[in-house]
Amino acid sequence: MHKNLLKSTFLGIVSIFAFNSCTSIPKGATAVKPFDKEKYLGKWYEIARLDFKFERDLNNTTATYSINKDGSIRVDNRGYNYKTNQWKQAVGKAKFRADENEAALKVSFFGPFYTGYNVIALDNAYKYALVAGKDLGYLWILSRETEIPETVKQNYLKIAADLGYKTSNLVWVEHNK
């Protein structure tokens, strides 16, 4: 009886944490609306990111988005670890948190655990994107090409800084492979 109660309590806590973590967006940030999922699909090059353990020591990083049979979005992240000289890949899935017309998604690479993925700036041609995670520890600048115009870069850095991101901590990704 005691074990079942502990197990139920633990599962309840995990469920609350998982639910809360997937619905987060940094304070003051707003997901892009209207958003066209079909235009967003395809390959994106990571221009800059706030580093975290799953992408540490990676360059040549890309994210490719496509539709899964169940309607969710397949997320295929790749990068080259310049210390081990090996390619690394992580495949996950993303789902809209609510309306598909709003770029507020949740993404998972680890089973039932999701985290926020919020497109907070996007040009009309869907060539450049600024993506916020669940909090100020996660930020990406993406482009359809391996480089981004200086004007777009400065605009995205200002948006991020105004939200409280420490843009001086961004890792600028090399694309040389």
Q: Where are the domains of the chain?
A: 2-172
Query: In the predicted model, what is the mean pLDDT of the chain?
Result: 89
Q: Which is more confidently placed, 17 or 34?
A: 34
> Where are the alpha helices (H) located in the chain, listed in sequence order?
2-22, 37-40, 150-163
Q: Which fold has domain 2-172?
A: Lipocalin (2.40.128)
Question: Mean pLDDT lowest for which of 23-32, 63-72, 83-92, 126-135?
Answer: 23-32
% of the chain at pLDDT higher than 70: 87
**Mean pLDDT of the region 41-61:** 96
For residue 125, the SS3 value is coil
Q: What is the reported pLDDT for 24?
A: 83
For residue 8, what pLDDT is reported? 37
**pLDDT digit string (tens) for 125-174?**
999 999 999 999 999 999 999 999 999 999 999 999 999 999 999 999 99
Per-residue pLDDT at 153: 98
pLDDT at 11: 36
Phi-psi region of 117 (alpha: psi -120 to 50; beta: other; left: phi over 0): beta
Would you state the structure tokens that stand for residue 170, as one six-digit string? 């961004």
Tell me what pLDDT residue 172 has: 98
Q: Is 131 within 8 Å of 117 (Cβ atoms)?
A: yes
pLDDT at 12: 37
